[in-house]
Amino acid sequence: MNKGKSIEFIKKYTMIIMLILITAFFAWRTGGAILLPMNVSSLISQNAYVFILATGMLLCILTGGNIDLSVGSVVCFVGAIGAVLMANMKVNIVVAILVMLLVGIAIGAWQGFWIAFVRIPPFIVTLAGMLIFRGLSNVVLDGLTISIKDCTTFVNLFGGGANCYIPNFASDTSLNMTCMVAGIIAMIIYILTQINGRVQKQKKGYETEKTVPMVLKMVVISAVILLFTYKLAQHKGIPTVLIWVLIVIMVYGYITSNTTIGRYFYAVGGNEKATKLSGINTNKVYFLAYLNMGFLSALAGMVTIARMTSAQPTYGQNYEMDAIASCFIGGASAYGGIGTVPGVIVGAVLMGVINLGMSLMGVDQNMQKVVKGLVLLAAVIFDVVSKRGGKLISKN
């Protein structure tokens, strides 16, 4: 590998390399505790809301570095409504879920309308939303905590409590076999789609990836899938919330990379005028970004109350910051037009690992915030400076 190529390699996989280094650092400092199956599993369930919100936030950021400050409050508000419906009013859980999603979508439509069609700056609209929905959460909950411990189906479905794992079909093994089988199936599906894509390309006579790097990549990713499922299987298996997270990641990963509407998000952020002159309705693109953010906030709200088995007026605080930070650490551009779902997920995992690692090391909560802030700043500085060709100071 020559020098130019290796620099490109490092640039492309910076965050993954960082993730490996940071994980290794914490593994060393915690005596391997961070790699214990229990901790790997809790990394997922603790950060599920970040994965979901960061995916939605990516779409907003893609349209031009626009952020949504209201998601934390919306998470709380939707959760509050759900808890009131299920615990106090004993509404059927399917109805409750539908209502929660619809409320999220309605909030998204409300904010999206002002942002996309009236062109009120997103910062203002969502700052207002942050206040409005935090206040409304308090109103709905009457300032109290509502427990949803008794709504077991809901809690199990969205991954709260102690038993929210996919059951082991071979009940007498210590290793969760469901989890292992699922991992192996996932690996096989992954390899088959890769090979199929390659064959299809060859059939049509298109250029294909070089064989050696492709095989290497497949081996590495397969190994990661197996190792990850093995860790989970050693604990209690697949947390139910992981299913939701995976669905969100896969659906949005597909939308952003393979569909026309996904392409429009990137185009608007890359050059709005050019996009408009290409016959694309840019207002609609902005609207969809925020509509979708409302929808995913609702999903995150459900995951949050399920995990806490209650709703409280203080839930969801700073969630928006976690989501935004994950996007920027994961390589989304603060000016829009650049960023991927896998990148954002890596960013979210990185944040999660730092959180978990520092907690395991017993670092003071406040210092944790300092470290997270510095990581965010460093990631964006790196992004901006590397785009400027390595020059630190901007010339005018």
Out of 39, 55, 275, 304, name the contact with other proteins by CB under 8 A. 275
Question: Scanning residues 332 to 361, which ones bind other proteins (CB under 8 A)?
Answer: 333, 337-338
| Comparison of 31 and 389: residue with beta carbon closer to other proteins | 389
Asked if 279 touches other proteins (CB under 8 A), the answer is yes
Give the H or E element holding residue 341: helix 341-361
| C-alpha 298, offset from chain centre | 14
- Per CB under 8 A, the list member of 88, 259, 318, 386 interacting with other proteins is 259
Decide if residue 260 touches other proteins (CB under 8 A). Answer: yes
Q: What is the DSSP letter of 146?
A: E
By CB under 8 A, name the one of 206, 210, 212, 390 that touches other proteins: 206
Q: Would you state the structure tokens that stand for residue 351, as one six-digit string?
A: 């944040």
Q: Which CB atom, from 371 or from 384, has the smaller least distance to other proteins?
A: 384
Provide the minimum distance between the beta carbon of 284 and other proteins in the complex, in angstroms, as a whole number: 11
Distance between CA atoms of residues 32 and 357, nearest Å: 10
Burial class (CB in 10 A: 0-12, 13-18, 19+), 253: middle
Interacting residues of 93 by C-beta distance below 8 A, sequence separation 6+: 86, 151, 153, 154, 157
Stretch of 4-12, 54-62, 199-207, 343-351 lying at the interface with other proteins (CB under 8 A): 199-207
- Does 147 bind other proteins (CB under 8 A)? Our answer is no
The residue within the footprint of other proteins, chosen from 3, 5, 204, 210 (CB under 8 A), is 204
- Window of 138-146, 153-161, 215-223, 330-338 that interacts with other proteins by CB under 8 A: 330-338
- Residue 212 contacts other proteins per CB under 8 A: no
Question: Per CB under 8 A, which region of 48-56, 60-68, 135-143, 279-287 contacts other proteins?
Answer: 279-287
Phi-psi region of 68 (alpha: psi -120 to 50; beta: other; left: phi over 0): beta
Burial class (CB in 10 A: 0-12, 13-18, 19+), 88: exposed
Decide the pairing of beta strands 310-311 and 146-147.
antiparallel
Regarding 263 and contact with other proteins (CB under 8 A), the answer is yes
Does 284 sit near other proteins (CB under 8 A)? Answer: no
- DSSP letter string over 185-203? HHHHHHHHHHHHHHHHHHH
Among 139, 195, 199, 274, binds other proteins (CB under 8 A): 274
Tokens 């088959």 map to which residue?
192
Cα–Cα distance between 164 and 79 in angstroms, integer? 19
Phi, psi angle pair for 207, to nearest 5°: -70, 140
Q: Tell me the site size for other proteins, rule CB under 8 A.
A: 26
Contact call for residue 278 and other proteins (CB under 8 A) = yes
Q: Of the two residues 72 and 339, which places its CB atom closer to other proteins in the complex?
A: 339
* Residue 156: HSE in the Cβ half-sphere, 13 Å Cα cutoff: 8
Cα–Cα distance measured from residue 347 to residue 249, given in angstroms and rounded to the nearest whole number: 13
Nearest residue (CB) to other proteins, 110 versus 335: 335
Q: Which residues pair with 239 in a beta bridge?
A: 165
Q: Which stretch binds other proteins (CB under 8 A): 131-139, 214-222, 252-260, 316-324?
A: 252-260
One residue of 152, 156, 194, 271 binding other proteins per CB under 8 A: 271
Which residues contact other proteins by CB under 8 A?
200-201, 204, 206-207, 258-261, 263, 266-267, 270-271, 273-281, 333, 337-338
